[in-house]
């Protein structure tokens, strides 16, 4: 029988930092496999990569999310006891709450709000010597997210809120002061949003049905009880925080236009190409490296014995670059999506599988629409120059981003 290879080294925790986004694919795919065993933080971990690996990872009969996330991630990125940690009926019920926010009307309104803020920012940029696109689009999206979600944002607080929402993301994998700041950012944000939830419940803050703030404040759990105000706040933050994070994809998209300029005219004039470009940005550039789950009960898969409670990691970046799924995966080529069959387990920058049955990101459609609106704006309504700068990014640094944040200058609206 073929044996699933195991790392001989005692512990590979440091290798995660060394290999970064390629930690899993280096081990799994280099051996032409879907599963591989290693040790991380003293635990025996099963690494999965590729389409077959993703199918297993999203099989909720065999995998669950209880205790799958380290506390340092919950105290920064996601919040404690939120949807990411739930299983079974309770998870499905919570997921419906998120999915109910994504009606066609709500998505249309999100596009209108996004375009309005691009107009306001672009006009401001005309007077600036240079613009760091990552910093500016974070604020642009913070304003967009709050307006869409029904969260009032005081002008003098915009900067602080934007910073906190993005520090929660950037600090979860860090150590030292950056991590501590990330925890503080979460505490401040939870307090801010929890007070607003209480105001909505007491009628002191108006909120429209269908907006995230209203639906989180009024949601009833499976037993008919309202969410604890802190929990409602955490789930509302689970809407606005990732909306701000779309700034990373916008920044990478700007880099793609610069590095592969043949895309500019095509994206500007062809709506289908604009979508293919957007999908390729989400596939090609590094964002989420991997995700974790735990084995529900003992079982054998591809001759590997999964043990109840064992930690399992699915390779997100590596699956998006798996040569078994993508021709020349390290080439930026939007037209590869001309022949794509819309697989649920191959393009997985925001998770795989079914939205309702598993943990796939409920914000995927809004993300795609915001990116399309932004790339449309950049190609059809904006002229800019790209000065000399270091826009390189490293696959060893998670989360990745062009070093310069992508600087543009001489911005003019068309
Ligand atoms: C889950 C990525 C935007 C809300 C996830 C997951 C990933 C992801 C990888 C985990 C899937 C899993 O655990 O199996 C991203 C990326 C985004 C983005 C890269 C773009 C920058 C959004 C937006 C929203 C959102 C815009 C809300 C409007 C959520 C929620 C979950 C989630 C609530 C938890 C779902 C669950 O546990 O069932 N996202 N996301 N995300 N995302 Fe996103």
Is pLDDT of 376 > 60? yes
Query: Is 259 inside any structural domain?
Result: yes
Task: Give me the DSSP letters along 293-323.
Answer: EEESS-EEETTEEE-TT-EEEEEHHHHHT-T
- Can you read off the two tokens belonging to residue 285? 């550039």
Q: At residue 389, does pLDDT exceed 70?
A: yes
Report the pLDDT value the prediction gives residue 314, as an integer from 0 to 100.
97
Ligand 1 proximity of 288 Cβ (cutoff 6 Å): yes
Do the domain assignments include residue 1? no
- pLDDT tens digits for 12-47? 777 777 899 999 999 998 888 899 999 988 889 999
pLDDT of residue 1: 52
Ligand 1 pocket check for 363: Cβ under 6 Å: yes
CA of 244 from ligand 1 middle (Å) equals 12
- CB contact at 8 A, 373 and 114: yes
Report the nearest atom of ligand 1 relative to the CA of 367. 26
What's the average model confidence in pLDDT over 361-367?
Answer: 98
**Ligand 1 proximity of 98 Cβ (cutoff 6 Å):** yes
pLDDT at 357 over 90: yes
> How far is the CA of 166 from the CAs of 5, 89, 155, in angstroms?
38, 31, 18
Residue 328 lies in a domain: yes
pLDDT score of 175: 73
89, 95, 103, 242: which to mutate for ligand 1, most atoms within 8 A of CB?
A: 242
Residue nearest to atom 19 of ligand 1 (CA): 350
Name the average pLDDT for the chain: 95
* Bridge partner residues of 64 (DSSP): 294
User: What is the pLDDT confidence band of residue 174, given thresholds at 50, 70 and 90?
Assistant: confident
Ligand 1 centroid to residue 242 C-alpha, Å: 7
Atom 4, ligand 1: residue with shortest CA distance: 363
3-state helix/strand/coil string of 351-405: ECCCCCCCCCCCCHHHHHHHHHHHHHHHHHCEEEECCCCCCCCCCCCCCCCCCCC
Pocket test for ligand 1, best of 212, 363, 399 (most atoms within 8 A of CB): 363
Does residue 265 sit within a domain?
yes
What does the pLDDT read at residue 73?
A: 85
CATH of the domain at 144: 1.10.630.10
pLDDT for 10: 66
CA dihedral sign of residues 178, 181, 185, 187: positive
**Does residue 6 form part of some domain?**
no
**Low-confidence winner among 75-89, 221-235, 264-278, 292-306 (lowest mean pLDDT):** 75-89
Identify the pLDDT of residue 2. 58
Angle between helices 229-259 and 262-269 (to 10 degrees): 120
Cα radius of gyration (the chain): 21
Lookup result for tokens 């590869």: 336
Which is more confident, 193 or 399?
Answer: 193
- Decide if 8 is inside a domain: no
Mutate to test the pocket of ligand 1, among 95, 150, 247, 350 (most ligand atoms within 8 A of CB): 350
Question: b/e string for 85-95 if b means 16 or more Cβ within 10 A?
Answer: bbbeeebeebb
pLDDT category of residue 57 using cuts at 50, 70 and 90:
very high
Secondary structure element (H or E) that encloses residue 44, with its range = strand 43-48
Q: Taking residues 257-278, what's their average pLDDT?
A: 98
Which has more pLDDT, 80 or 194?
194
Q: Is 350 in the pocket of ligand 1 (CB under 6 A)?
A: yes
Using the structure block, give the residue that is written with the tokens 């909306």. 243
Tokens of 118: 């691009």
Number of helices and strands in the chain (H, E): 15, 10
pLDDT confidence of residue 215: 98
pLDDT of 213 strictly over 90: yes
Q: Quote the ligand 1 centre to 382 CA distance (angstroms).
A: 29
Strand ranges, E, within 161-289: none
Query: Helix, strand, coil: what percent of the chain each, to 5?
Result: 50, 10, 35
Q: What is the pLDDT of residues 122-168, one digit of tens each?
A: 999 999 999 999 999 999 999 999 999 999 999 999 999 999 999 99
Q: Do the domain assignments include residue 3?
A: no
What's the pLDDT at 249? 98
65 lies in a domain? yes
H/E element holding 262?
A: helix 262-269
C-alpha span between 86 and 272 (Å, rounded): 36
Please tell me whether residue 261 adopts helix, strand or coil conformation.
coil
Domain encompassing residue 319: 13-413
Q: Which two tokens stand for residue 145?
A: 């997210």
Task: Output the pLDDT for position 41.
Answer: 80
Q: What is the pLDDT of residue 172?
A: 74
Distance CA 244, CA 165 (A): 7
Using the predicted structure, report yes or no on whether residue 3 has a pLDDT greater than 60: yes
pLDDT digits (tens, 9 = 90+) for 63-95: 999 999 888 888 888 889 999 999 999 999 999
Cα–Cα dist 55/53, whole Å: 5
pLDDT at 96 over 90: yes
What is the number of other CB atoms lying within 10 angstroms of the CB of residue 211?
Answer: 21
Q: What percent of the chain has pLDDT over 70?
A: 99
Please, which contacts does 401-407 make with residues 24 or more away whose CB atoms are closer than 8 Å? 401/134, 401/248, 401/251, 402/134, 402/251, 402/252, 402/255, 404/132, 405/132, 405/133, 405/134, 405/135, 405/251, 406/132, 406/133, 406/134, 406/251, 406/254, 406/255, 407/130, 407/131, 407/132, 407/133
| Calpha distance 411→122 (Å, rounded) | 7
CA distance 161 to 166: 9
Predicted pLDDT at 70: 84
Count up the domains in the chain and report the number.
Answer: 1
Confidence band, pLDDT 50/70/90 cuts, at residue 377: very high
User: Is 240's C-beta closer than 6 angstroms to any atom of ligand 1?
Assistant: no
* Atom 13 of ligand 1, residue of closest alpha carbon: 359
Cβ proximity of 143 and 165 under 8 Å? no
């Amino acid at each position: 029988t073929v044996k699933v290879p195991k790392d001989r080294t005692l512990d590979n925790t440091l290798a995660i930092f060394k290999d970064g986004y390629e930690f899993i694919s280096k081990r799994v795919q280099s051996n032409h496999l879907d599963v591989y065993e290693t040790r991380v933080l003293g635990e025996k971990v099963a690494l999965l990569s590729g389409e077959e690996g993703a199918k297993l990872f999203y099989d909720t009969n065999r995998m669950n999310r209880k205790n799958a996330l380290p506390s340092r991630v919950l105290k920064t990125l996601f919040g404690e006891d939120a949807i990411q940690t739930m299983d079974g009926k309770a998870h499905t019920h919570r997921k419906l709450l998120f999915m109910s926010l994504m009606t066609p009307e709500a998505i249309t309104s999100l596009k209108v709000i996004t375009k309005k803020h691009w107009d306001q920012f672009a006009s401001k940029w005309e007077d600036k010597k240079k613009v760091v696109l990552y910093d500016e689009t974070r604020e642009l999206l913070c304003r967009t997210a709050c307006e869409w979600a029904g969260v009032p944002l005081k002008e003098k607080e915009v900067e602080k809120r934007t910073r906190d929402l993005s520090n929660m993301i950037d600090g979860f994998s860090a150590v030292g002061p950056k991590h501590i700041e990330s925890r503080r950012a979460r505490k401040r944000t939870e307090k801010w949003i929890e007070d607003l939830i209480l105001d909505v419940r007491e009628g002191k803050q108006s909120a429209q049905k269908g907006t995230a703030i209203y639906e989180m404040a009024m949601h009833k759990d499976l037993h008919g009880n309202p969410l604890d105000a802190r929990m409602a706040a955490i789930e509302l933050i689970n809407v606005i925080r990732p909306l701000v994070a779309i700034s990373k994809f916008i920044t990478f998209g700007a880099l793609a236009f610069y590095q592969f300029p043949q895309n500019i005219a095509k994206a500007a004039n062809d709506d289908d190409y604009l979508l293919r470009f957007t999908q390729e940005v989400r596939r090609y550039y590094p964002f989420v490296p991997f995700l974790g789950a735990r084995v529900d009960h003992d079982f054998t898969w591809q001759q590997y014995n999964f043990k109840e409670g064992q930690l399992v990691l699915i390779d997100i970046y590596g699956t998006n670059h798996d040569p078994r799924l993508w021709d020349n995966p390290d080439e930026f080529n939007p037209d590869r999506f001309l022949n794509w069959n819309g697989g649920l387990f191959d393009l997985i920058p925001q998770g795989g599988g079914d939205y309702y049955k598993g943990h796939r990101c409920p914000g995927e459609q809004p993300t795609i629409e915001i990116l399309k609106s932004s790339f449309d704006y950049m190609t059809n309504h904006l002229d800019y120059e790209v000065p000399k700068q270091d826009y390189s990014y490293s696959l060893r640094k998670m989360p990745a981003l062009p070093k310069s944040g992508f600087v543009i200058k001489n911005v003019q609206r068309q």
